[in-house]
Structure 1
């Protein structure tokens, strides 16, 4: 029973639903179509820019996820994912800032994913704008979350997954009140994201928000851009991506750890737009931010966890719980790898259950 209908919960439920013998219920406060500050997944860009460090579990999760996202982009247009060329620009002056630390794996001149993504290359120094010390480029994907999350729901429904609205005070609440058609819940998968910091039985104090603010515009670009930092503060960022299927272009952003504010900051929005137009003049044909056609402003709280994702199993009040949360800003690009790791733990737990 995945307990949140974000990208982690939906992906885990989808993989579980493909295995014979599992009857899956998603019981969640928020579902695709909702927009709430507690619910990070709809606000994401989202894309594939691996920030993981080579040789780690996180890199392995990212690698496994790329294979699925690339297949969806190539062969399943209904998922709302498309390929897009991506450039990552690096400034040495940003080393040690919050944004550069977040992007540390991505900014490596020889990153582990160079042999995973298509068309990886180093850009020549001569081709870079003043102040940019190095840059890489590769083919990535951009995900229209307004299409992709409902698509995941549709795939789950086709496999018999049941969806129910629910609010839980404690993780074990998911085993009560007849949520499961059998009348009994034998295992809970905890995909509560940021709310893992507050959920009884979990209350993970190492989970904190990293506030991201974006502007969504109708202007389009044929490239995705990211830079290691800005001159407007170490917790501010500059990234640009155009979503698939008319989803608009995301201009970001910020990485404000510990900030729970769900309201857009108009001054930050102005800085975001100015940085985007400077980085990608094609957005407005070389004109100013007044030529950006704004769809909306948004704020999302990335569920960051010290030490990275928690993918573990434990017993709580005698019930097996498998955790899959804490991906921060990497939730989409590690989604299938993390979900498979969680499913493997579910299989282990049921193996233990069957021998008791």
Structure 2
């Protein structure tokens, strides 16, 4: 790889940082330009608000399954080799209600299958005996997965970028073409990688009308859950979810909801109470040692996109070569390395021409 091949990555969320890291490993001269960086908290900066874990909901989509497959393998390696990354091995358990079996859902996807696509990818996949399930559930699965403490992982990911020579500029862009002149070398970039998430709907030159927020609300508690849990549906509405993620370093995330098109960053106290009620119903062990102890309530906006994530090469008039990587929605972490590797393939292709 030639040192003269300069790449500017827009965005310092999990997509931007992972793309920059993988590009730097290939020898590209990478500069990240971003409005927000790890340590910042803003409703526009989606990555710090994530749960986050690996729980694939892909169904009948080989491209997205491959993203998740690649990322699962990387996370397993990081668990063993990088204890400072904030990734923790956890058992993941999914319960399915009878009334949800025939649903077609982008949110639930393959989780409704008795044997989802990833059964042969994850460790220790098990179909649960129906007699062992909580009341009201007809099937369940369990497998080895991971939970990620994003407050640890994002700074760690940034540090890996810096160790590989990636530079960072804190900048607010109005148009994508501005990024071409922001490479740390002072020279024009050869290519831009667009990892702007929700801002892809607002950034000049991109303005993708398919991008929308998937509002999520969670409750962080000090209590410990013995595993990660998810369920197929709730009695409280189709846009509400039940999931539990016990985090590396302590505490547990209780969720949640997926409110399509909702940009509201304000906490809904009634929703919070429903989240807590559902979590205790599925995992009463949360209160085994002490009553529920709330640390804080969170709202985050998943950077979703109609038709799924956009990972593609575009030749933009007045800008040049652009590789897009945005729109992963709730799969931003669990797809991150697979999507970033696809970005590297597209950058290689574009810069060989």
**Superposition deviation, residue 180 in structure 1:** 2.6
Aligned to 2:274: 271
Aligned to 2:300: 300
Aligned to 2:322: 321
Cα offsets for 1:139-194 (capped at 9, x unmatched): 11000000000000110000111111011111111123x44324221211000001
Aligned to 1:19: 26
**Alignment CA distance shift 1:3-1:44 (3 Å):** same
**Alignment CA distance shift 1:55-1:203 (3 Å):** closer
Cα offsets for 1:66-110 (capped at 9, x unmatched): 110011112210101011011001113235768x54111122111
* One of 217, 222, 235 as aligned partner of 2:226: 222
Does the 8 A contact of 1:68 with 1:336 survive in 2? Answer: yes
- Of the structure 1 ranges 2-11 and 102-111, higher mean CA displacement relative to structure 2 is found in 102-111
Does the 8 A contact of 2:180 with 2:319 survive in 1? Answer: no
Aligned to 2:127: 122
- Provide the C-alpha distance between the structure 1 equivalents of 2:292 and 2:135, rounded to a whole number of angstroms: 24
The DSSP-based 3-state class of the residue aligned with 1:119 is strand
Cα offsets for 1:195-229 (capped at 9, x unmatched): 11111111110111110000001001120000011
Q: CA RMSD in A?
A: 1.4
Cα offsets for 1:268-287 (capped at 9, x unmatched): 11111111111100001298
* One of 49, 55, 79 as aligned partner of 1:73: 79
Aligned to 1:136: 141
Cα offsets for 1:21-43 (capped at 9, x unmatched): x1111100011111111111111
Aligned to 1:43: 49
- Provide the C-alpha distance between the structure 2 equivalents of 1:41 and 1:48, rounded to a whole number of angstroms: 15
- Provide the C-alpha distance between the structure 1 equivalents of 2:169 and 2:111, rounded to a whole number of angstroms: 38
- Provide the C-alpha distance between the structure 2 equivalents of 1:28 and 1:10, rounded to a whole number of angstroms: 10
**Alignment CA distance shift 1:205-1:340 (3 Å):** same
- Provide the C-alpha distance between the structure 2 equivalents of 1:186 and 1:258, rounded to a whole number of angstroms: 35
* One of 142, 147, 169 as aligned partner of 2:174: 169
Aligned to 1:240: 244
Where do 5+ consecutive residues of structure 1 fail to align?
none
The DSSP-based 3-state class of the residue aligned with 2:265 is coil
- Provide the C-alpha distance between the structure 2 equivalents of 1:262 and 1:251, rounded to a whole number of angstroms: 17
Task: Give the TM-score taking structure 1 as reference length.
Answer: 0.94
- Provide the C-alpha distance between the structure 1 equivalents of 2:211 and 2:329, rounded to a whole number of angstroms: 9
Task: Find out whether 1:253 has 2:260 as its counterpart.
Answer: no
- Provide the C-alpha distance between the structure 1 equivalents of 2:247 and 2:9, rounded to a whole number of angstroms: 27
Aligned to 1:9: 16
**Superposition deviation, residue 233 in structure 1:** 1.1
Aligned to 1:284: 287
Task: Find out whether 1:154 has 2:159 as its counterpart.
Answer: yes
Aligned to 2:150: 145
- Provide the C-alpha distance between the structure 1 equivalents of 2:93 and 2:177, rounded to a whole number of angstroms: 45
Does the 8 A contact of 1:83 with 1:140 survive in 2? Answer: yes
**Superposition deviation, residue 2 in structure 1:** 1.3
Runs of 4+ with >2 A deviation: 94-98
- Provide the C-alpha distance between the structure 1 equivalents of 2:103 and 2:288, rounded to a whole number of angstroms: 31
Does the 8 A contact of 1:97 with 1:229 survive in 2? Answer: no
1:69-108 equivalence runs, <5 A: 69-94=75-100, 100-108=105-113
Does the 8 A contact of 2:242 with 2:278 survive in 1? Answer: yes
* One of 179, 187, 194 as aligned partner of 1:190: 194
